[in-house]
């Protein structure tokens, strides 16, 4: 494969201007980052979805700054080219603006992320402004914002009526004005997402927001059917890694239990002399 230059915020903006779709996927550790980077994604999101697909929680709310830093470090070690964005977890940006900037800075300084993603609209504008002034690129996240699942009353499509649609457009414009480098639009009707996309000059990255967005993002475990139990309408699976793992590991279990593994090619042999000494007659100890 041709060597690629590391993707930057300018590349993302240029991609929008030139109408070249941006491919983004989540990754949470070294091997997944290495594989998706080699596969040619433009951006990797260390999503707080790791709380659900990696750590087994039933929402993203229990995810901590320490979890995010730990996983971001592993992802950036596995990435050569993709633009790595790390999620700001629940309540890490709701205290003072200074605390929020400090937390965002940790994801960059310790995790080596290139940008952070923050859920919300008007209410996070002061944080977006300060982060941007401090040299921390911010990706916004509008529509279904999973950290507010309990306030929203479940994982539901957002921006369906005209007021909510106009609010999304306003929020996206405010994020752009505050310096955001891109905006994720999650679970938004395609026509609304298209209008948001046309209203701003920074890229929109859709998940369940139709083909009119400037890019798309999906969760690694959903794309690969890797032990992901829920399958929202907007997910397309491109592989069945979960079934491959179960099949391979059950073969391993069966071969261990029937002594077919390890075979001679997986086994080290002692020298004839040692064998004689170990097993030969008269050896006692
Ligand atoms: O945490 C995550 O994976 C996300 C995507 C669903 C956009 O925020």
Residue nearest to atom 2 of ligand 1 (CA): 47
Instruction: Please tell me if the CB atom of residue 44 comes closer than 6 angstroms to any atom of ligand 1.
Output: no
Known catalytic membership, residue 186: yes
Instruction: Please tell me if the CB atom of residue 26 comes closer than 6 angstroms to any atom of ligand 1.
Output: yes
Residues of the chain with CATH 3.20.20.60: 9-239
Question: Distance between CA 171 and CA 175 in Å, rounded?
Answer: 6
> Considering 66, 119, 186, 281, which one is annotated as catalytic?
186
> Which residues of the chain carry a pLDDT beneath 70?
1, 282-285
**DSSP H or E segment with residue 167:** helix 162-178
**CATH 3.20.20.60 correct for 9-239:** yes
pLDDT for position 1 = 59
Residue with tokens 């950290």: 147
Measured in whole angstroms, the distance separating CA 229 from the mean position of its chain's CA atoms is 17
The string of pLDDT tens digits covering residues 171-190 is 999 999 999 999 999 999 99
Indicate the pTM of the whole model. Answer: 0.95
Instruction: Please tell me if the CB atom of residue 45 comes closer than 6 angstroms to any atom of ligand 1.
Output: yes
The Cβ-side half-sphere exposure at 161, using a 13 Å CA radius, reads: 1
C-alpha distances out from residue 84 to 7, 53, 109, 240, Å:
9, 19, 13, 25
Asked if the bond preceding 103 is cis, omega within 30° of 0, the reply is no
The Cβ-side half-sphere exposure at 100, using a 13 Å CA radius, reads: 26
pLDDT for position 283 = 59
The string of pLDDT tens digits covering residues 32-44 is 999 999 999 999 9
């Amino acid at each position: 494969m041709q060597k690629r230059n590391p993707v930057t915020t300018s590349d993302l903006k240029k991609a929008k201007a030139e109408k070249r779709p941006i491919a983004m996927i989540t990754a949470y550790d070294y091997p997944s980052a290495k594989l998706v980077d080699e596969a040619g994604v433009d951006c990797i999101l260390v999503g707080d979805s790791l709380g659900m697909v990696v750590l087994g929680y039933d929402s993203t709310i229990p995810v901590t700054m320490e979890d995010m830093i730990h996983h971001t470090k592993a992802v950036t070690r596995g990435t050569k080219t993709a633009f790595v964005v790390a999620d700001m977890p629940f309540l890490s940006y709701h205290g003072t603006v200074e605390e929020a900037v400090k937390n965002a800075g940790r994801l960059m300084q310790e995790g080596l992320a290139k940008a952070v993603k923050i859920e919300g609209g008007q209410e996070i504008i002061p944080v977006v402004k300060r982060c941007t002034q401090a040299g921390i690129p911010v990706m916004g996240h509008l529509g279904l914002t999973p950290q507010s699942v309990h306030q929203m009353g479940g994982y539901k499509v957002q921006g369906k009526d005209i007021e909510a649609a106009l609010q999304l457009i306003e929020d996206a414009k405010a994020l752009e004005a505050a310096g955001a480098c891109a905006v994720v639009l999650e679970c938004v009707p395609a026509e609304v997402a298209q209008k948001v996309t046309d209203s701003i000059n920074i890229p929109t990255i859709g998940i369940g927001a139709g083909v009119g967005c400037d890019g798309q993002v999906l969760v690694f475990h959903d794309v690969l059917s890797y032990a992901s139990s829920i399958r929202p309408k907007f997910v397309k699976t491109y592989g069945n890694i979960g079934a491959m793992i179960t099949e391979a590991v059950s073969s391993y279990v069966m071969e261990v239990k029937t002594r077919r593994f390890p075979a001679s090619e997986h086994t080290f042999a002692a020298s004839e002399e040692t064998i004689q000494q170990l097993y030969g007659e008269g050896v006692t100890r």
